[in-house]
Structure 1
Amino acid sequence: MKILRTADFFGAPFVQQIDPKQSIYKSAFGGLVTLLICSASLAYAIWVLYKWQNNQLSPKISNSMYVSDFSLLDLNYDVIKLYYWKFGENQIDPFESKILLPLVMYTTNFSFTELQLIQMSNETSDDGTLYYLPKMSLAFQNISGVIYTSSEMYIQIAKCSQIYLKEDEKCASDELIEEFFSQPLNTIVLQVHQKSLNSLDGSVQNSVQEFFIQIEQQNCYTLNTFLQSNLYELQDSFLFGYPRYLEFINGALIQPQTNSVQYCKLAYENDILGLIYIVMKGNQIKTIFEYPHAGDLLANIGSIVSVLFMIKHIIIIINEYYLNQKILNQLIQFYYPEFKKVTIQKNWRQKTVKVVLNKYEVDVKEFQQFHKKVQDQMQNKLSYLNLLYEMSRIYFIIRSFKFRDELKKSHQVGIKINLSQSKMMADSNLNSNWTNRSSQFFSQLNDEDADLLSLSNKAKEVQLSVPDEICIEKDFYENNKIS
């Protein structure tokens, strides 16, 4: 049991009461400030929870370079879109007029597939031109711990050839071709559609990045496009849980080159005026969204509440001052009972201007000197060391007229519990005159002795005649001895 008591850290200390009504001094001003602080703390807590519920608390965001295996990469949408930029109604669209053809081929295990014609879609651009949507096909392979792109894309902007057309389709005439190349600003637009996450609520956002390819009859424009992905780690659990992972294309880096038509024809064995090489970039970006969880919310609320509760130190100092003044005044009244009849008037600067004692005005300066003197005296009595010192002096005074053996007998004395005594006898004992009591009854302790000198008896007006005879001390010890 002793070990268990030692291990208990829920122990409760004994708090001595200031008076019969309270053990801790509290004031109305302190209560008002407490209500204000608690109300402000509760309001702030509700406000923080409201912002958290409505995704208005920004998460902690960290970015780092990352080598991805692209297993989570989302390619289930049209990442690449191609169209001819028409800025005038009379401009000739080379794709619709079969002057140029958008072709695509892929590498599979580092070998090329056959060229395929990219079909026109039903989607239109901002200027009303129809999109050409190549099928996105990228594959990856781990070789000796290194991720390689085993399937790449090549989009060719080639001169029209009948082998890529249907039987009922024909390439444009030489006159139309010459008219097309005489147009200014012949531009083909490559759109890279990308996705990202909104940091506030983790929702998916769409955006687009455009690259321009100029078409000239004597040049071959090459656009090496390195797609870049972003791996998102979402830590959005309220208390416990695993993070979520999402990976999207979030942009592209390009390496443009302008080559001769002869160079591209030798390199790709086709009459092409533009080439778009598409591959995944080696290093990706990893972004961690750490949303506030329960611990962060409590820490956020607790930090502000701690600042608000710093005001309590000021209130504690004020309460300590008024508690000290209250006890000093009561101690003064113990020694100077007339002090409770003193009325002090102060002005707005808390300066004493009038003092009244027993309905008579007294000199203010003289009272202040007296008050300061007795306050200093009573202040010393509040010292615990002074209390022990005065108790030791009382012992020496008692010891001056009592022998040690007599004092030792006090350890055997106590109030006996006598429940067999009838109520009538008890009442007669309380109301009878002390001179009529027997010596034994007079010297015997009863329940009145338990608080005879306590502060609670100070307010009672009891008038009893004390006999001249002093009871024999031997009878006192014998009558109250506890066996």
Structure 2
Amino acid sequence: MATLPKQLRNLLKQIDLFSIPVPVLTDDATSKYSSPSSGIISILASVLSLAYFAYVLSEWASGNILPTITSNQSAQAYSEQELEDNFIQFKLADPANSDPFQRNNNIITPLLFVVDNYEIASPPLPLFSDDENPFTVGLNKGTLIVNNLNQNIDEQSFKPQRNYLLVFIQCLDQYLEENSNCASQEVIDQYMKEYHGFLSIIMKLEQYNYREDQIEYITKQAYQALSPTYIQYTQIAIQQKAINLDNGLLFQNQVTFKLINDFYLINQSIDNQYLQNIVSTFSNQNIKLNAIMAYQIRIDNLQISDRIIMPKLSAVLAYIGSIVQVIFMLKYLAVFINNHNLKVEMQTQILQIYYPNLKNIIIKRNYFGKIIPINDNNQQEIYTETFVKQYEEHLDIAFKKLRLINIIYELSRIELLLEKHFGLENVSECNQMGSTFQFNSNDKKNESARVSMLSTGNSGPQPTDDIFKLFNKS
């Protein structure tokens, strides 16, 4: 650091954040000791801290700091779920490339029954594909309700349990709308004998993106074989997820979302008569259906609940503070350097006070503190083993003189020496020695109240130039 310009060294000392208090009186006017090395460490620590602070705030603003998420599963006695148009779709992958769900010349008609507490209260709704989505049928808007309460409920507060029964049947004119018609029976029979691939069940699921703070939609598919020979009854159980979000910046701010998280299938093989009996029982009518497959769409009463607490400002600042503390481990290095440099400077100055000729000797040390010789021939002659040993010993003695008890001891020796040579009375009168302060240049210089020590014969003329000369030397 000695090779740095003096102005730069002074600037680094001013920047030093890790100055140490000076425990002894020195010729320096400051109460703290700073060094250029510690100033560089202070700059490094400050830059790293500010850079990391900006980085964490950027990550927080981008939502990349993970929130606290607690998840559990619970059984719901009552729950409602609103469905959007085409929330669930059934799409046929048919190698024959013949759309059985079309409105005209229909072959297979999906019938949607709304079941409230095991009762069909309204006529079935036929579903058809269109030109934009061939081979595909979808459910319209609706509401699914799960109600497992074992007590009398107020119908205005709690709606009856509701699910949907979707039955795929061979086309019958009695279930069609006015602008639709069935294909001929020969076409229908021929279609039932052929292979027609898989029926895809496509459902739109929801998830909460905490980074973007929005609900996102994803799709999930399941596949089933379309085989008129074996009739399948399938339960489509929709699983809900409740999101309890706390997105407050400083204080708690609760927001609740109810999402459709997943679905699963429960399959069972049945015969055609069983399905007809089920529909007849629910509707109290004798219904004839030549069914191919049936789906019961319901809400699962097991619900997943997520508690999401977004990172708050206090948590982010605490996180930053913990890392900054690690960065400020450099502080201990800076303090160590300052303590070491202060000790070396004080030892050297004290030693030069006792031995002024040492001011002309250049002392250099390596990184381990060991004295190294100088290339100058005049200096090399001094760097003998005996000199180095004595110099190190005298440095230890000089450091001991910095102790307060040693300073008091030295002052007491001086006081006893003055008392011995000048007498106790003359030494006591020194407390009143001083000069009168001159308020302007025209004032007559007053005689000082100094006591002449006649016993020594050392009294002399008083200085006439600057009465603060001696004071300024301290």
> TM-score with structure 1 length normalisation?
0.75
Q: Which amino acid aligns with 2:142?
A: M
Which residues in structure 2 correspond to 1:4-83 (within 5 Å)? 18-67=26-75, 73=81, 75-83=83-91
- Asked if residue 307 in structure 1 is aligned to residue 326 in structure 2, the reply is yes
Question: Which residue in the other structure is 2:122 paired with?
Answer: 114
Q: In 1, are the aligned partners of 2:22 and 2:33 still within 8 Å (CA)?
A: no
CA deviations 1:408-443 (Å, max 9, x no partner) are 777x747575556854533998xxxx99xxx99969
CA distance in 2, matches of 1:377, 1:84: 98
CA deviations 1:4-47 (Å, max 9, x no partner) are xxxxxxxxx99876443432221112111211221122122222
2:444 is paired with a residue of what secondary structure? helix
Question: Which residue in the other structure is 1:165 paired with?
Answer: 176
Q: In 2, are the aligned partners of 1:355 and 1:361 still within 8 Å (CA)?
A: no
CA distance in 2, matches of 1:296, 1:404: 70
Question: Which residue in the other structure is 1:322 paired with?
Answer: 341
Judged with a 3 Å threshold, the aligned counterparts in structure 2 of structure 1 residues 391 and 171 are, in CA distance, closer, same or farther, namely: same
CA distance in 1, matches of 2:83, 2:77: 14
Which residues in structure 2 correspond to 1:96-135 (within 5 Å)? 96=103, 97-120=105-128, 122=130, 124-125=132-133, 128-135=134-141
Question: Which residue in the other structure is 2:249 paired with?
Answer: 238
CA distance in 2, matches of 1:328, 1:183: 105
Q: Which amino acid aligns with 2:113?
A: M
- Asked if residue 336 in structure 1 is aligned to residue 344 in structure 2, the reply is no
CA distance in 1, matches of 2:362, 2:125: 108
Shift of 1:366: 3.2
2:32 is paired with a residue of what secondary structure? coil
Q: Percent identity?
A: 21
Question: Which residue in the other structure is 2:11 paired with?
Answer: none
Which residues in structure 2 correspond to 1:22-421 (within 5 Å)? 22-67=30-75, 73=81, 75-89=83-97, 91-94=98-101, 96=103, 97-120=105-128, 122=130, 124-125=132-133, 128-141=134-147, 143=149, 150-167=161-178, 169-269=180-280, 270-271=288-289, 272-344=291-363, 351-354=371-374, 361-362=381-382, 364-397=384-417, 413=432, 415=434, 418=437
Q: Which amino acid aligns with 1:306?
A: Q
Q: Tell me how large the CA RMSD over aligned residues is.
A: 4.0
Answer 1 or 2: higher relative contact order, Cα 8 Å, separation at least 6. 2
Of 393-402 and 242-251, the range deviating more from structure 2 = 393-402
CA distance in 2, matches of 1:74, 1:16: 80
1:152 is paired with a residue of what secondary structure? strand
Q: Can you give the 5+ residue segments of structure 1 that lack an aligned partner in the other structure?
A: 1-12, 459-483
Shift of 1:400: 5.5
CA deviations 1:367-414 (Å, max 9, x no partner) are 22331232122111122333344445455555657887877777x747
Shift of 1:273: 2.2
CA deviations 1:171-193 (Å, max 9, x no partner) are 33221122111221354333221
Shift of 1:84: 3.0
Question: Which residue in the other structure is 1:472 paired with?
Answer: none
CA distance in 2, matches of 1:275, 1:421: 116
Q: Can you give the 5+ residue segments of structure 2 that lack an aligned partner in the other structure?
A: 1-20, 281-287
1:56 is paired with a residue of what secondary structure? coil
CA deviations 1:213-248 (Å, max 9, x no partner) are 434334321111111011123333332340322111
Q: 2:473 aligns with which of 447, 451, 457?
A: 457
CA distance in 2, matches of 1:391, 1:210: 95
Shift of 1:359: 8.8
1:289 is paired with a residue of what secondary structure? strand
Judged with a 3 Å threshold, the aligned counterparts in structure 2 of structure 1 residues 129 and 186 are, in CA distance, closer, same or farther, namely: same
CA distance in 2, matches of 1:36, 1:283: 55
Judged with a 3 Å threshold, the aligned counterparts in structure 2 of structure 1 residues 363 and 427 are, in CA distance, closer, same or farther, namely: farther
2:344 is paired with a residue of what secondary structure? helix
Q: In 2, are the aligned partners of 1:106 and 1:152 still within 8 Å (CA)?
A: yes
Q: In 2, are the aligned partners of 1:231 and 1:284 still within 8 Å (CA)?
A: yes
Judged with a 3 Å threshold, the aligned counterparts in structure 2 of structure 1 residues 373 and 170 are, in CA distance, closer, same or farther, namely: closer
Of 33-42 and 324-333, the range deviating more from structure 2 = 33-42
CA deviations 1:343-383 (Å, max 9, x no partner) are 34668996432599999953622322331232122111122
CA distance in 1, matches of 2:425, 2:447: 35
> TM-score with structure 2 length normalisation?
0.76
Judged with a 3 Å threshold, the aligned counterparts in structure 2 of structure 1 residues 288 and 88 are, in CA distance, closer, same or farther, namely: farther
Aligned length: 429
Q: In 2, are the aligned partners of 1:62 and 1:287 still within 8 Å (CA)?
A: yes
Q: In 2, are the aligned partners of 1:341 and 1:358 still within 8 Å (CA)?
A: no
Q: In 2, are the aligned partners of 1:234 and 1:288 still within 8 Å (CA)?
A: yes
